[in-house]
Chains A and B, each alone.
Chain A
Amino acid sequence: DTAVSQTPKYLVTQMGNDKSIKCEQNLGHDTMYWYKQDSKKFLKIMFSYNNKELIINETVPNRFSPKSPDKAHLNLHINSLELGDSAVYFCASSQIRVSTNEKLFFGSGTQLSVL
């Protein structure tokens, strides 16, 4: 069983469309994250949720809206897609709240291409 799974793996869409990326973890973790990896391979935190509560929102445009129906799921909805949104998006989870000692477990990524 995949620990952190996200779908779809590839997403190609037109500018202006609305799309969602789903993420599920079966590790029993309390905290989930969304990361964006740009073309230079920098991985930057976007959001973090702990037990369905938003705890980190890193200057992400409000076109991006995370939704956590339960602590095992953190979906990312993106409105009015722009060319600059093209990137690889990774979901991750950790056992407890953001901590210096905690390991992150990542999904395999969603390659978003906005045309």
Chain B
Amino acid sequence: DAKTTQPNSMESNEEEPVHLPCNHSTISGTDYIHWYRQLPSQGPEYVIHGLTSNVNNRMASLAIAEDRKSSTLILHRATLRDAAVYYCILRVASGSARQLTFGSGTQLTVLP
């Protein structure tokens, strides 16, 4: 099964950049890397996804290693509202439910 490994928790200071790492050494060529975040008492929300190239959107940037065995979600300027659990998941092409299961994620704490 394609799996991801993330640190359990990270801290950041407000208004500083945050780099959230994810390892996915068993990734295959057609697997997309997705990031979601879950704010307290809410459902997960989509952040960003990519396949091979780095991606930017209004919420974050996704940096994907050349060998695709790891990726980093970058929040350019953390705010208190970015405190959440961040999930890195692989969307595999097999069509099975494995691609839809989230791991335990990284709890990001933003300090004022």
Taking Cβ atoms with an 8 Å cutoff, the residues of A that contact B are: 4, 33, 35, 40-45, 48, 56, 58, 90, 92, 98-109
Contacts and interface: CB of A to CB of B under 8 A. Distances in A.
Most buried by B among A104, A107, A108: A104
Given A100-B30, A109-B42, A109-B43, 13 more contacts: A4-B43, A43-B44, A44-B102, A48-B100, A58-B97, A98-B99, A100-B92, A100-B93, A103-B46, A104-B36, A104-B100, A106-B44, A107-B43
Nearest to B89: A43
B92 A42 contact: no
Contact of B43 (A40, A42, A56, A108): A108
Contacts of B95: 98
A40 B46 contact: no
A-B pairs with lowest CB-CB distance, top 7: A106-B43, A43-B102, A45-B100, A100-B91, A103-B46, A100-B32, A45-B97
A92 B100 CA distance: 11
9 contacts: A41-B104, A45-B101, A90-B43, A92-B43, A101-B49, A101-B91, A103-B46, A105-B46, A106-B43
Contacts of A109: 41-43
A42 B85 CA distance: 11
Interface of B: 30-32, 36, 41-46, 49, 85, 87, 91-93, 95-97, 99-105
Contacts, number: 61
Contacts of B44: 43, 90, 104, 106
Given A104-B46, A107-B43, A99 B91 contact: yes
Contacts of A90: 43-44
A105 to B, nearest CB: 7
B100 A98 contact: yes
B32 A108 contact: no
A41 B105 CA distance: 8
A45 B91 CA distance: 13
B43 A44 contact: no
